[in-house]
Amino acid sequence: MSKYIIRGGEPLCGDIKIKGAKNSVLTLLAACVLVDDVVTLHDCPHISDVDTMIAILRRLGCRIVRNGDDVTVDSRDISCEKIPSGLASELRSSVFLLGSLLSRLKKAKVAYPGGCDIGLRPIDIHLSGLRELGVRIIEKHGYIDCDSSKAHSADIMLDLPSVGATENMIMTCVFLDGVSVIRNCAKEPEIVDLQNFLNRTGAKIEGAGTGVIRIEGVSSLRGTEYTPIPDRIVAGTYLIGAAMCGGELCLSNVNPEHLSSLLAKLPKSACKVTCARDKINIICKGRCESIPKVETTYYPGFPTDLQTQILTLQTVSKGTSVIVENIFETRFKTVPQLLKMGADVTVNGRTAVVRGVESLTGAEVSATDLRGGASLVLAGMCAQGETRIDNVYHIDRGYEDLSQILSSAGVKIKRID
């Protein structure tokens, strides 16, 4: 089993180019099913979640060629509507294929999705929206069996601004006669990216990035080439790493607007941040002051996918911080691993109180999920002595060549396979 070995204490210095966003690329790959033609997506990261989605699409009948960072999808021969449990259990984003399969084949059978164990992520919102569109749904034996032969346009109100449900509704409505309206939508940049991609192929969608999205049905979509947005969570992870370790880091191919909630939180006493159109420079000197309170919420608020990383920064900052997790109830699963490294964190339900210590100490720890695993890497980078992290397959789901990238930026890290 692969593990990282990190010798802490080195500053983070250098240039890092950010690849396409995992959470956007996975959805765009699912959306390729809607296009009865050839689509090429550029700047796709080499991560295991993308590999799994490609495997699922091939199982459905798509022909896919990967050439470096480019992925070309030909879905003209797609015929299978069933996603088996073995693949669906590896990837939460497999549920996004419900909408695209229902639009393309008028039926879909999807095993309940997997992904990181960070709490309940019910798909009731997805299924409720589909039922409002006239989709017949039967849930049995671990599968969701859907038939959209009698689907129709509708005005849908989502119970929560769920990113996945918003994306599923968009893809389900693309070919429906008339106009469909989705209210209380998620506003994340990945929603805007999906709209921009589909409109490039001939869809008629407007309103992404706001609380109301309007979809006018079309008869077909054409092939295209498209470059997804850069990964704001990967970029945020590296920025937090610089704040913890000190140094001077330049991120390129990044959208500062997508990271505004993090940039507003980075301690200005120790960090100087400058932003250009597609670059962020950060210079950090000295120990950071604690952030009094961080509370996760829907975009444009502070993202849950950066919560564990910002908590890890607080473990070595001056003072006390309160972290409130409002999205996933078990996002604090990494705290026991941080305690092994000398952190002072108390968790009560969805709230963690973090009292900063002078430094962490290297230890043998285990990644329990994607973002938690990345946070342990950050902790190891600034800890005294050696840190060994196992179960790094979790990290592979969302970070391409993490050890190589960090090594190029001065971190003493190696991967043992």
Residues annotated catalytic, as ranges: 116
> How many other CB atoms are there within 10 angstroms of residue 248's CB atom?
17
Beta-sheet strands, E only, within 319-369 = 320-324, 344-348, 351-355, 364-366
Rounded to the nearest 10 degrees, the angle between the axes of helix 189-200 and helix 163-173 is 20
Q: Residue 390: helix, strand or coil by DSSP? A: strand
Cα-Cα-Cα-Cα dihedral sign, residues 215, 216, 220, 222: negative
Q: Residue 272: helix, strand or coil by DSSP? A: strand
- DSSP for 180-234, written as a single string: EEEES----HHHHHHHHHHHHTT-EEE-BTBSEEEEE--S----EEE-PPB-HHH
Q: What is the DSSP letter of 417?
A: -
Compute the C-alpha angle 25/28/34, nearest 5°: 160
Beta-sheet strands, E only, within 184-270 = 204-206, 212-216, 224-226, 247-252
Q: Give the residue carrying structure tokens 């391409």.
A: 400
Q: Give the residue carrying structure tokens 């005294």.
A: 384
Distance from chain centroid for Cα 121: 14
8 A C-beta contact, residue 253 and residue 230: yes
Distance CA 230, CA 42 (A): 11
Query: CA dihedral defined by 36, 181, 193, 301, rounded to 10 degrees?
Result: -150
Distance CA 295, CA 324 (A): 5
Beta bridge partners of 210: 208
| Tokens of residue 209, six digits | 């990035």
Question: What residues have CB less than 8 Å from 223, skipping those under 6 apart?
Answer: 35, 37, 38, 39, 201
